[in-house]
Structure 1
Amino acid sequence: MTFAASRPTPATLAGRLGVLCSRAWQSQALTRVVSLALFAGLTAWVLMVFRDYGISNDEPVQHTYGQLLWQWYGSGFKDDRAFHYINLYLYGGLFDLIAAGLEPYVSLPVYDLRHLISAGFGLAGLVAVWRWTKLLAGEKTAILAVAILAVTGMYGGAMFTHTKDVPFAATMAWSVYLVTCVAAALPGLPSWRTVAGLGFAVGCALGLRVGGVFAIFYLGLTIVAAGVIHRDVRLVARLVLRLVPAGLITLTVMALAWPWSVLPPTNLFEAMGAFSHFSFDLSTLINGKDVPIGEVPGFYMSEYLLIKLPDVALLGLIAAIPFGVLALLRANAEDRRRALVFLPLVLALAVPVVFTLAEHPPLYNGIRHFLFVIPPATIAAALGIAALWRAALRVSPGLGFATAAVAGSLFAFNAASFVALHPYEYVGYNQLVGGLAGADGRFEGDYWSATIREAATELREGVEAHPPAKPYKVAICAEDGQVQPFLGPDLELTESWDDADFLLTARNVGCDNLVPGLTYRTISRLGVPLAMVVDLRARHSPIVEPLPWDDDADPDTPAVSFHGPGSATVARKVP
């Protein structure tokens, strides 16, 4: 007797594949492996690219501030120059203290070291987002939130150069996550570990910016809401008493990182007032118009938030609002008590938006000063995408697959744009305004002049190929410290643009069409010029020497200057 082996049918194979996928999806061990792989990849990426980033125009003074703070401590609290240095005393010095303290012991150029430390804060913020989202919606949604935030230009790219903003965003993410832990423990009391962590996180936030008071405000509202929802005034009293050590830790950390704030303690309120009403002679670009920072409309921050978030995050936010409202309307008393864990997230996203709409504070550089809103916005987006996918899956597996495919395609598009912009990821915009090309000339670009480093490097390499008899003079539309480390012996900085042989400038600062000359190099991304090197040598010689045209690798990138005498004109002297 013979037996014929039965071959599996396509339907059987599909069924087996479906079972395997279902088991893999439900595997907590595999989910944890993905989380670890994601963070390992992000850490490796940081270590590979942190040397690529330019020096922001604030970094030299920030680093000096850190050094002055160390001198205050080293002098036995006598050398108080840090308390009078420009307006830096209005900021906490936590980051600058760390950078200045490590500088003598780490064999890295000081600004590379600062960028590495800043990226470390950024990674810590991603860990906070992972833990926060995992607490609210599980580890798979947490992976999604971290992945989206990592390819958000104003976080994943900015975390190298925004050395005040990203560390503050990271410490705020930890602060609000720990406020969420307090809410999750109700009607019980938070653990002492949570209490200590909350005090340390809020202290670090205040040790960077006075805006850390937002975290205290969120905590206060959460405690009040807990008393109302649980109908227990004594619960409020017990929570306040439990959190007293957190307050003491906060004050200690803040005082160590920002001693001016407690000498005397009223200085903290002076800083709050200063940042609510400060103003100086500076304009910001919004909807194609240069607007003085004291006259920006209340929707300035909200608009920049919407156009700076990745497209996939916008999809999630659009989905999160109706799903959240629907869940709230259907909630019973017990559901509302459980939903209290979402209140800190809602506050972290809504309060800054409402504050700017109501108060119209002076703002500039787009979303930079409210960058701490991006992590909670990304978490809300991840929750929205997850809710949308589950709703689609309940309708049909095909619709669930289509929803996942749309979200995955948007993420892939945003990730590709993020990589294409490197190392200027923070200048990117979403398709709400047509991406970087659509935002060009309408909204803020390279406000740090980070592109000036690449421009200086391109000029140095070009000159080294044909060394001059004497060094060329270079004028810059930036801070000297942003360029000096990248110029070789054949180039020297000059304050006189009339005597300069070359001009280095980013487009965002408005210097690209002030001087007649020929574009020697264009620094561009995605077909949009960001900075340029202008060759001015023809102005100094009666002999017209051949000057190389712009040799940007992207042939579709136009010359930088579109108006005025800039790169469109060569000032040639007739013998």
Structure 2
Amino acid sequence: MISDAPVRRAGPRALHPADIAAVVVLVVVCAVSLATFRDFGMGWDDYAHAEYGGLLLRLYGSGFTDRRALSFVNLYAYGGGFDMLAALAAKVLPFPIFETRRLVGAIIGIAGLAMTWRIARRLGGPLAGFVGVALLATCPLYVGHMFINPKDVPFAVAMLAATLGFVRAFSEYPHPTVPTTALLGLGLGLSFGTRVMGALAAVPTAAAFLLIVVAEARRQGVRPALWRAGEFLLRLLPAVVVAYALMALIWPWSVVSPLNPVKALLYFSHFFEKPWRELFEGELLWVVDMPRRYVPELFALTTPEIFWALGIAGVVAALASAAHADRPLNRRASLVFLAVSVVFPIAFTVLTRPAMYNGLRHFVFVLPPAAVLGGLVGALLANRVAASEGRRTAIAAAVLAVTLAHPVVTMIRIHPYQYTYFNATAGGLQGADGRYMRDYWGLSMKQASLALRDVLAARGELATPKHKRHIAICGPQRPVRVELGRNYPTDWQPQGGEFAISLNEFYCAKLDAPVLAEVVRDGVVYARVYDIRGRTIDTLLTPMPP
């Protein structure tokens, strides 16, 4: 069972082949990130998030007299740690603000990979660490979002830090060390300070904690078990203090009033926007009416098959191991924590059926614990087919190279739209085309803007301050303005426009006008550039059914 894997080996530490392989994975991801972070465009919310980061810095820089950040759109209800960090980085790095945000996102995502490796290695040994980090590093949903998503990947990495803290705390039960307590406080503070949904950690924590208390009560009696439980909780109280202080730092609105975190939780527990339609299974459905299968189905179609196969197997194996009373109790608690961290958010969504949209971006935080459990199962399987450490590592690497070839090659082909990946089960991008949302972030507006500029440069028709080129937009406008500048004013309406840039999503109409350029990946069009001069076009939008 996976609970039998040693946490640490006694004696001098040798450089394990699996550790070398894991480091190679991390180095490759770092190199690719440095080479490509400038390629990723802006999405719908990037500009607002950049403004929020600047306002938060002004809040602190003004001695709390400039309080605009505390009422800025609805972002005050989110933590601004990422936005502040990116704003600070932009002051010292030689890149524009939006490229800096991509680089900071990549760094945070890589930190998540390192923590995934650390957790899997701690629970299952070096080979589990290698398999776990390889699974996550080749998961397009995670890799794509780590460059572009200012909320969901930072939240996922913050939850990972809390997960590592809990795993360490359960392994040291009932006397968690000071470093463990500090790490747990750091993780919880970052989690709540990023999204109030950090409260989700309470469920796997309670499940693991109750497992320990009930098991000890059966073995030693209720009173000793409760005494040890109380001692454990008392020693973790400093983590609460650290978490609250850090939450206050990166989410100042949360401490303006003691009840503000509760208000934020209530705010996000109900759909707070005007409903719209999105494409799912080829039908236009209201986001508040998505079927219960929405999240499980998209997990099956937008993550590599080996990822979800090992992840599901890891959940089953973890729960099975936790049910064996003869297994080490502390490790059983850690396994329960990881399994519930994966299962509970998905099961809760299936049962409660909230508004669901933008694919799985809100569930990125489920991917790392699933990768850890997948790593444990992968290591277990490799241990059964080979005796030596070198052979086991070689077998695991070979199997991963074969099973992960499709997502890796596809990520290269569809760059920089990795987050739009669909696996072979879905028929790839072409199989998903017209059935599911793809570029819901609007990233392709950058490449479309650059394509328009290239066409105009070749024709000698570039805009000037005296002769501006008006562009109609179906999609986010800010990316076009950032890429093309002030000489290319944008508008939602086509009237008076010379060119149109349109996402190839269901809500953007295919215009009866010459196509100047297309952004295409894997045979699928992401965006089009039209010449609409001399054309009468009433709208860029597709008529919606009532």
Q: Against the structure 1 CA distance between its residues 518 and 278, is the aligned structure 2 distance closer, same or farther, given a 3 Å change threshold?
A: same
Q: Against the structure 1 CA distance between its residues 119 and 405, is the aligned structure 2 distance closer, same or farther, given a 3 Å change threshold?
A: closer
CA distance in 2, matches of 1:491, 1:450: 19
CA distance in 2, matches of 1:97, 1:428: 30
Deviation, structure 1 residue 403 = 8.7
Give the one of 447, 463, 466 matched to 1:454: 447
- 2:496 alignment partner AA: D
Q: Which residue of 2 aligns with 1:283?
A: 277
Task: Give the number of equivalent residue pairs.
Answer: 512
2:22 and 2:134 in contact (8 A); partners too: no
Give the one of 469, 472, 482 matched to 2:469: 472
CA distance in 2, matches of 1:124, 1:225: 30
CA distance in 2, matches of 1:192, 1:96: 30
CA distance in 2, matches of 1:193, 1:277: 38
- 1:302 alignment partner AA: P
- 1:501 alignment partner AA: E
1:195 and 1:243 in contact (8 A); partners too: yes
Deviation, structure 1 residue 142 = 1.1
Q: Which residue of 2 aligns with 1:92?
A: 79
CA distance in 1, matches of 2:40, 2:393: 40
1:315 and 1:385 in contact (8 A); partners too: no
Give the one of 187, 193, 216 matched to 1:207: 193
Matched ranges for 1:374-453 at <5 A: 374-391=367-384, 407-453=400-446
Give the one of 26, 34, 53 matched to 2:21: 34
2:116 and 2:132 in contact (8 A); partners too: yes
- 1:536 alignment partner AA: I
2:442 and 2:476 in contact (8 A); partners too: no
Q: Which residue of 2 aligns with 1:360?
A: 353
Give the one of 201, 224, 237 matched to 2:230: 237
Deviation, structure 1 residue 135 = 0.9
Asked if 1:63 is matched to 2:80, the reply is no
Q: Which residue of 2 aligns with 1:333?
A: 326
SS at match of 1:423: coil
Q: Which residue of 1 aligns with 2:63?
A: 76
Asked if 1:196 is matched to 2:182, the reply is yes
SS at match of 2:426: coil
Q: Which residue of 1 aligns with 2:208?
A: 222
CA distance in 1, matches of 2:131, 2:299: 20
Bigger CA radius of gyration: 1
Deviation, structure 1 residue 471 = 4.0
Q: Which residue of 2 aligns with 1:49?
A: 36
Q: Against the structure 1 CA distance between its residues 393 and 328, is the aligned structure 2 distance closer, same or farther, given a 3 Å change threshold?
A: farther
Deviation, structure 1 residue 391 = 4.4
2:203 and 2:340 in contact (8 A); partners too: no
1:455 and 1:532 in contact (8 A); partners too: yes
CA distance in 1, matches of 2:285, 2:506: 14
SS at match of 2:475: coil
Asked if 1:485 is matched to 2:485, the reply is no
CA distance in 2, matches of 1:326, 1:256: 41
Q: Against the structure 1 CA distance between its residues 505 and 457, is the aligned structure 2 distance closer, same or farther, given a 3 Å change threshold?
A: same
Deviation digits for residues 504-557 of structure 1 (CA, Å, limit 9, x no counterpart): 1111262142x32122211111111111112213528xxxxxxxxxxxxxxxxx
SS at match of 1:207: helix
- 1:439 alignment partner AA: A
CA distance in 1, matches of 2:228, 2:257: 34
CA distance in 2, matches of 1:401, 1:135: 20
Deviation digits for residues 3-47 of structure 1 (CA, Å, limit 9, x no counterpart): xxxxxxxxxxxxxxxxxxxxxxx9634433333332222211111
Matched ranges for 1:133-172 at <5 A: 133-172=120-159
Deviation, structure 1 residue 315 = 2.9
- 1:528 alignment partner AA: V
- 1:190 alignment partner AA: P
SS at match of 2:529: strand
Deviation, structure 1 residue 321 = 5.1
CA distance in 2, matches of 1:400, 1:250: 38
1:151 and 1:157 in contact (8 A); partners too: no
CA distance in 2, matches of 1:167, 1:206: 11
Asked if 1:305 is matched to 2:327, the reply is no
SS at match of 2:515: strand
Deviation digits for residues 120-169 of structure 1 (CA, Å, limit 9, x no counterpart): 11011111101110011111221121122112111112111011111111
2:209 and 2:333 in contact (8 A); partners too: no
- 2:289 alignment partner AA: E
Q: Against the structure 1 CA distance between its residues 259 and 507, is the aligned structure 2 distance closer, same or farther, given a 3 Å change threshold?
A: same
CA distance in 1, matches of 2:487, 2:45: 27
CA distance in 1, matches of 2:437, 2:517: 22
Deviation, structure 1 residue 230 = 2.0
Structure 2 stretches lacking a partner, 5+ long: 1-12, 218-224
Asked if 1:247 is matched to 2:240, the reply is yes
Q: Which residue of 1 aligns with 2:8?
A: none
1:55 and 1:482 in contact (8 A); partners too: yes
SS at match of 1:408: helix
Deviation, structure 1 residue 478 = 2.5
Deviation, structure 1 residue 261 = 1.1
Q: Against the structure 1 CA distance between its residues 251 and 400, is the aligned structure 2 distance closer, same or farther, given a 3 Å change threshold?
A: closer
2:513 and 2:530 in contact (8 A); partners too: yes
CA distance in 2, matches of 1:224, 1:327: 16
1:52 and 1:423 in contact (8 A); partners too: yes
Asked if 1:504 is matched to 2:497, the reply is no
Asked if 1:527 is matched to 2:523, the reply is yes
2:213 and 2:229 in contact (8 A); partners too: yes
SS at match of 1:497: coil
CA distance in 2, matches of 1:185, 1:400: 29
What TM-score do you get using the length of structure 1 for normalisation? 0.83
Q: Against the structure 1 CA distance between its residues 99 and 68, is the aligned structure 2 distance closer, same or farther, given a 3 Å change threshold?
A: same
Higher relative contact order (CA 8 A, sep 6+): 2
Root-mean-square deviation over aligned CA pairs: 2.6
Q: Which residue of 2 aligns with 1:317?
A: 311
Deviation digits for residues 270-325 of structure 1 (CA, Å, limit 9, x no counterpart): 11111111232222322222222222233322222222211221331354355446
Q: Against the structure 1 CA distance between its residues 29 and 321, is the aligned structure 2 distance closer, same or farther, given a 3 Å change threshold?
A: closer
Q: Which residue of 1 aligns with 2:220?
A: none
Identical counterparts, % of pairs: 30
